[in-house]
Amino acid sequence: MGIVMKKLALLATALTMVSGSALAADMYVKAAKAPPPVAFDPWDVAFGSAIMSDYVFRGITQSNHKPSVSAYFEPRYNVTKDLQLYVGAAGESISFPNRAAAEIDIYGGIRPTFGAFAFDFGVWGYLYPGGTCQYGAAFDTAGKPLGAECATNFLVNGNVLKKNVSFFEGYAKVNYTINDNWQFGLNEYYTPSYLNSGAWGNYASITGKYTAPSTTFGSSGVGMYVSGEFGRQWLGTSDSFYGTGFTNPGFAGPFPNGIKYADYNTWNIGVGFTYKVFTLDLRYSDTNLSKGDCNAFTSDFAARGNITLASGTSITAINPSGVGSNWCGAAGIVKLSADLTAMTNLK
């Protein structure tokens, strides 16, 4: 009996020691201070650059089907995790008939997010400094004086373009994320004077993107996506500056009240590969604009053709010259870009 009592006493002592140790450990954890929360920094900056084989905008080359470089800088302010304000500046090298030095973009807007829906509302300004008037006459078709610069400079194919083709657009966009792989979007842009032509412009499009699972290329860190867009550009009537042109027997022209530009569809589809901050995008782009209507809209300095009826295959109601442009045709585009944000890549 004495032996049993001794064993029970030893067991009680051991339990007391274990219980005391556990309690002490528990008290120590509770007494420790929690790490301070990470401070919310609402500011961020996105920036990047790209080189591309062709700068195509809504199905139409802006670089005469030649390589182009671009860069952008976009400060952002996150009011909350679901509401962002931003402004930005970007630049692209171009090749315009008026010999503008470059395209400079100034823009700003707001990006609210509601669950799977990401919205974007803003204004975008397209600036083309360094242009010269290309007309070849001192007066337009309405008799308005154009000045010595317009009278002195002209394009050999008869096309004309203003010195200043800068313009702005208001836009609204929404992107819906279904899951980690699928996204769809709608875009709407409007301007009262596209390329300062006097013709209003309205562009609407639908986009889609499939992002492959991150394990597609194993642990290499390479990602892949397939994306596409279908859009339609509606256009109004230009001012009298663009009413000039060659006159062929049996065809109306010039157009003293301006040209009603042709509306058109455009589409593109491509595949992209990503690695860290880099993206390689391979894309096909096209429109349904004829060469004649493309020439009337773009004033392509490289457009060629014969103004006689016998070989004027690009003659249309708004392009009586027969000069045709390939700026709106099928194009393959290779683009290598790098995109970074200060909060993610520069910490």
Structure confidence at residue 143 (pLDDT) = 78
Dihedral angle, C-alpha 191, 194, 200, 202, nearest 10 °: -60
Element (H, E) at 16: helix 2-31
Side-chain half-sphere of 207: how many Cα atoms within 13 Å?
16
Q: Reply yes or no: is the peptide bond before residue 249 cis, omega within 30 of 0.
A: no
The whole-angstrom separation of Cα 49 and Cα 279 is: 11
Is 223 part of any domain? Answer: yes
Q: Are residues 2 and 84 in the same domain?
A: no
β-pair type (278-287, 331-341): antiparallel
Using CB atoms within 10 Å of the CB of residue 285, give its burial: 0 to 12 exposed, 13 to 18 middle, 19+ buried.
Answer: buried
Give pLDDT, residue 252: 41
Q: What's the total number of domains in the chain?
A: 2
Let me know whether 64 and 21 are in one domain: no
pLDDT digit string (tens) for 206-222? 999 999 999 999 999 99
Contact 171, 120 (CB under 8 A): yes
Dihedral pair phi/psi, residue 195, rounded to 5°: 50, 35
Domain of residue 281: give its range. Answer: 46-345
Same-domain check for residues 111 and 235? yes
pLDDT at position 29: 47
Same domain assignment for residues 28 and 54? no
> Are both 13 and 131 inside the same structural domain?
no
For the chain, percent of residues with pLDDT exceeding 70? 84
24 plus 51 within the same structural domain:
no
Q: Per residue in 232-261, pLDDT tens?
A: 999 999 998 998 654 333 334 478 889 999
Exposed / middle / buried, residue 68 (Cβ in 10 Å: 0-12, 13-18, 19+): buried
Same domain, 225 and 200: yes
Residues 338, 252, single domain; the answer is yes
- Whether 76 is in a domain gets the answer yes
Question: 67 and 52 in contact (C-beta within 8 Å)?
Answer: yes
Length of the chain (residues): 347
CATH assignment of the domain containing 114 = 2.40.160.40
Please state, in angstroms and rounded to a whole number, the distance separating the CA atoms of residues 119 and 230. Answer: 19
- The predicted structure's pLDDT at residue 6: 52
pLDDT, residue 20, reads 46
One-letter amino acid for residue 110 of the chain: I
- Compute mean pLDDT per 10 residues along the chain, 347 residues long, and list them: 50 47 44 64 96 98 98 98 98 97 98 98 98 90 85 92 98 98 98 98 98 95 98 96 58 73 98 98 98 96 69 81 93 98 85
Say if residue 23 is in the same domain as residue 78.
no
